[in-house]
Amino acid sequence: MSTQQRNFWIAVFCGGLILTIGLGARQSFGIFQKPIAAELHIGREVWSFASALAALLMGVFSPFVGGLADRFGTAKVVAIGAAVNVAGLFVVSVATGSFGLIFGSVLSGLGIAAASFPTILAAVGRMAPASKRSLALGIATAGGSFGQFAIVPFASILQDRYSDWHFTLYVLTLVSLAAIPLAWALRQPKSAGPAAAAAGPRQSARDALNEAFATRAFWLLTIGYFVCGFHVTFVGLHLPAYIADKGVGLDLFGKAISPAELGGWAIGLVGLANIVGAILWGWLGGRHQRKDMLALLYLLRSLSFILFLILPLSGASVLLFAATLGFLWLGTIPLTNGLVMYIFGPAYAAMLSGVVFMSHQVGSFVGGWGGGRLFDLTGNYDLMWWISIALGFTAAALNWPIRERPVPRVLAAQPA
């Protein structure tokens, strides 16, 4: 095994672990929905808005931090982002009012913008041999899912046992410190590596953006990715509260699991199933057209929502839904990022993936804040579920006609 290949696998492992820590902590935010509202005497909209605004700003800043990573190196940008995330989590853990919740959540979101999928997957994609790139992106993406499986249930157990969301968030802050030194593994060699072969003629960042914006496939990918963000943030932020509202618990091997704890385990099970799902969809993206796999994934998501709503609600149906959705959770990420790199080459992959990710985070804002807003207006989440179903069908229709072909610049640089 060559030195470059060893470096590549180290980057996959450490990049996935950074995603495990950073996204695992943020995906636990849903379990704090009810205790924060109860202690601070505020509606669910405030914490929903804080989390959704952070997701929106995470998307807005993603192209910029992606550009910085392309120019100055991923390791530096990710390390700084991880440190900012730690600061934000600490501010939330000591918050006593709406301002602290919003400011801390936004600070954490800005940190994750620099230490999340666009920057990390672009580095992994550049360092990976082309033949292993789709699978590698799937494996690294699974890191975010493992965090969901490992950290969210851990946080829900702490919260259920101590009934102190300040303490639980403080523990998550300490755990998040570990992401900072892991960024070292994302240092790239001075040469661009095997991924650079298909880069084509050298571009400026402005040229790369103009080329992408003139390509229909880029717009279809970007608009479709809005739906992914809407789905995962609505479910991640509001499913635990939905389960608690319905009073759905579970008796497992003689042990009673409370509705509050079941919500955490449901989100954790989504993450566990997605460890397999992300790798599976990444593998499928190396053997079939990625745009077809994206269309299929969004279609299956909508069908899973429909089944969840029409089946009698129980602890078993919650876990069945969580496991099913997990296979469809973040599989969009290796497919979308791989498609961006395939069409436009690796040179500005972090920046262009950041633009697409911005749409994802706009969807996250609408799904996260909208869920809280509609709940406070109507007293339930029914309308949000049906909106999610309609958007899933729309995303499937948008991805299906994408023309999966490199742009002429990249195509001209490839050997005959």
Query: Is the residue at 186 inside a domain?
Result: no
pLDDT of residue 44: 75
How many percent of the chain have pLDDT more than 90? 34
Query: Is the residue at 267 inside a domain?
Result: yes
pLDDT at 338 over 90: no
Query: Is the residue at 197 inside a domain?
Result: no
Q: Six-digit token pair at 191?
A: 């040469």
Q: How many domains does the chain have?
A: 1
- 190 pLDDT band, cuts 50/70/90, is low
Give the pLDDT mean for 198-224.
Answer: 84
pLDDT of residue 52: 82
pLDDT at 132 over 60: yes
Q: Are 80 and 114 in contact (CB under 8 A)?
A: yes
- 205 pLDDT band, cuts 50/70/90, is confident
Q: Six-digit token pair at 416?
A: 């005959």
Residues 6+ apart with CB under 8 A from 77: 65, 68, 69, 114, 115, 119
Q: Six-digit token pair at 331?
A: 């599989």
Query: Is the residue at 332 inside a domain?
Result: yes
Give the pLDDT mean for 50-72.
Answer: 84
pLDDT at 393 over 90: yes
Specify the amino acid at residue 171.
V
DSSP code string of 223-270 = HHHHHHHHHHHHHHHHHHHHHHHHT--EEETTEEE-HHHHHHHHHHHH
Query: Is the residue at 351 inside a domain?
Result: yes
pLDDT of residue 192: 45
* Beta-sheet pairing, 250-252 with 255-257: antiparallel
Q: What is the DSSP letter of 195?
A: G
Tens digit of each residue's pLDDT (9 = 90 or more) over 342-355: 999 888 888 898 89
pLDDT of residue 200: 52
Could you tell me which of 25, 383, 26 has the C-alpha nearest to residue 233?
26
Q: Are 218 and 351 in contact (CB under 8 A)?
A: no
pLDDT at 381 over 70: yes
How many percent of the chain have pLDDT more than 70? 94
pLDDT of residue 237: 82
pLDDT at 378 over 80: yes
- 376 pLDDT band, cuts 50/70/90, is confident
Could you tell me which of 289, 122, 131, 130 has the C-alpha nearest to residue 208?
122
Tens digit of each residue's pLDDT (9 = 90 or more) over 165-175: 999 999 999 99
Rounded CA gap, 90 and 160, in Å?
20
DSSP code string of 366-415 = HHHHHHHHHHHHHSSSHHHHHHHHHHHHHHHHHHTT------HHHHHHS-
| Total-model pTM | 0.76
Rounded CA gap, 43 and 354, in Å?
32
pLDDT of residue 126: 82
Tens digit of each residue's pLDDT (9 = 90 or more) over 229-272: 999 989 988 898 898 888 887 776 667 777 877 887 888 788 88
Give the pLDDT mean for 273-298.
Answer: 89
Query: Is the residue at 113 inside a domain?
Result: yes
Which carries the bigger pLDDT value, residue 113 or residue 387? 387
What 3-state class would DSSP assign to 330? coil
Which range is least confidently modeled, 189-198, 329-338, 405-414? Answer: 189-198
Which domain CATH number covers 402? 1.20.1250.20
Could you tell me which of 81, 77, 29 has the C-alpha nearest to residue 52?
29
Quote the mean pLDDT of the chain: 85
pLDDT of residue 37: 84
Q: Residue with structure tokens 């969004």?
A: 298
Would you call 268 exposed, middle or buried from its count of C-beta atoms within 10 A (0-12, 13-18, 19+)? Answer: buried
Ramachandran area for residue 193 (φ above 0: left; ψ -120 to 50: alpha; else beta)? left
pLDDT at 8 over 90: no
Q: Are 346 and 196 in contact (CB under 8 A)?
A: yes
Helix H or strand E segment including 218: helix 216-246
Maximum separation of any 2 CA atoms in the chain, in Å:
66
Q: Six-digit token pair at 105?
A: 């959540």
H-only helix segments in 28-132: 33-40, 44-72, 74-93, 98-114, 117-127
Domain span holding position 277: 3-181+205-411
Rounded CA gap, 311 and 51, in Å?
30
Query: Is the residue at 259 inside a domain?
Result: yes
Rounded CA gap, 208 and 349, in Å?
10
Alpha carbon dihedral 309, 312, 313, 318, in 10-degree steps, equals -80
Query: Is the residue at 70 inside a domain?
Result: yes
Q: Are 303 and 247 in contact (CB under 8 A)?
A: no
Residues 6+ apart with CB under 8 A from 197: 130, 413
Give the pLDDT mean for 68-75.
Answer: 85
pLDDT of residue 86: 95
φ/ψ (deg, to 5) at 256:
-80, 125
